[in-house]
Amino acid sequence: MLAISDKIKQLIELAADAKNNLIISNPSKIAEKLAQLDADGVSALHVITDFDMTLTRYWTNGVRSRSSHGVLEHASNVDDKCKTALTDLYKKYYPIEISHTIPFEEKVEAMKTWWTTAHSIIVGMGLTRQDIKDMVQSSPVAFRPKLKEFVDLCHARNIPVLIFSAGLADVLQEIMNSAQLMRDNMDIVSNKMRFKDDVAIAFEDPLIHTFNKNEATVSGTDHHTKIGDRHNVILMGDSLGDLRMADKVHTHVKLTIGFLNHDQDLFLDQYAKAFDIVVLNDSSLEYVIQLITNLS
């Protein structure tokens, strides 16, 4: 077993201190993971992260923040009929997505129905690329604090970052571009629209929803090339389903960081068991930044 250095001990102490809005349920196990990540160095590391409510905030002034789908639902250039239809889908299916009692297989089928129906509505809008730019400007998302610092750190240390989302790739790309947050070490895999004569006419396969994300989807892409033989991963997400994002990838060390943004009384035990480190109360990316900064 690797020796645990002082800097790793300090990272564990930070995660174990409740005032930092962090939970670490197995400090000795996580210390070993961090020590191995440090020993292997950042040249062996890549990051897989969800987008909505992971790189963005869950709450904005006490109100639920917008997801990439929500950008469309609230944009000024979307008619009320489409907005109502998308909102009704959210009200019906989101409680199923976050339920801790509904069987997983039942959730999967519900998500397929939700995403397929929502995509049909979106295609029916006849969106152009300019429409998407206008939507992002009129209906902005709220980024999680210190996102730019996280992005710049990963870029400076040459760590590939995959944003893996069940949202809308074209919207995510515009959100990140308009905020000047995309870097050449980053890629987005999400539900991508197919355009004809500059009008969205369909979504490309495969359909990506909350519970079927895994990195096999990026096989053969530019991001897959960037990963190369990097065998360690930091995985970040706000849903238990996000833990599947690295299922199809051979990893030596996988450090998982979960963002529990709501209903701590219902989900804290589940998240603490499932994720190595849990970030509470919609907190910033400060701990992730400190962790990566301290790796050799």
40 and 157 in a single domain? The answer is yes
Helices (H) and strands (E) in the chain, counts: 11, 11
With respect to residue 244, please indicate whether it lies within any of the assigned structural domains.
Answer: yes
251 and 106 in a single domain? The answer is no
Q: What is the pLDDT of residue 288?
A: 98
With respect to residue 177, please indicate whether it lies within any of the assigned structural domains.
Answer: yes
157 and 131 in a single domain? The answer is no
Distance CA 296, CA 292 (A): 9
22 and 83 in a single domain? The answer is no
238 and 156 in a single domain? The answer is yes
Q: What is the CATH number of the domain that holds 87?
A: 1.10.150.340
For residue 100, what are the β-bridge partners? none
Q: What is the CATH number of the domain that holds 286?
A: 3.40.50.1000
With respect to residue 61, please indicate whether it lies within any of the assigned structural domains.
Answer: no
For residue 46, what are the β-bridge partners? 233
- The pLDDT tens digits of the residues spanning 82-100 come to 989 999 999 999 999 988 8
With respect to residue 99, please indicate whether it lies within any of the assigned structural domains.
Answer: yes
End residue of a domain, out of 118, 138, 158: 138
Q: What is the pLDDT of residue 219?
A: 66
Chunk the chain into consecutive blocks of 10 residues (it has 296) and report each block's average pLDDT, rounded to whole numbers: 88 87 94 96 96 94 86 84 92 92 94 96 94 90 97 98 94 96 95 96 93 70 81 95 82 96 90 96 96 96
End residue of a domain, out of 138, 153, 177: 138
> 3-class DSSP state for residue 77?
coil
20 and 129 in a single domain? The answer is no
46 and 81 in a single domain? The answer is no
Catalytic residues: 50, 52
End residue of a domain, out of 90, 108, 138: 138
172 and 266 in a single domain? The answer is yes
Contacts by 154-159 with C-beta closer than 8 Å and gap 24+?
154/47, 154/183, 154/185, 154/186, 154/292, 155/183, 155/184, 155/185, 155/186, 157/42, 157/292, 158/42, 158/43, 158/185, 159/42, 159/45, 159/46, 159/47, 159/185, 159/292
93 and 240 in a single domain? The answer is no
With respect to residue 148, please indicate whether it lies within any of the assigned structural domains.
Answer: yes
Domain that holds residue 98: 67-138
235 and 263 in a single domain? The answer is yes
Q: What is the pLDDT of residue 185?
A: 96
Q: What is the pLDDT of residue 47?
A: 97
268 and 222 in a single domain? The answer is yes
Task: Specify the amino acid at residue 134.
Answer: D
11 and 89 in a single domain? The answer is no
With respect to residue 216, please indicate whether it lies within any of the assigned structural domains.
Answer: yes
With respect to residue 130, please indicate whether it lies within any of the assigned structural domains.
Answer: yes
With respect to residue 60, please indicate whether it lies within any of the assigned structural domains.
Answer: no
- The pLDDT tens digits of the residues spanning 113-159 come to 999 999 999 999 999 999 999 999 988 899 999 999 999 999 999 99
Structural domain total, the chain: 2
Q: What is the pLDDT of residue 252?
A: 93
Q: What is the pLDDT of residue 73?
A: 81
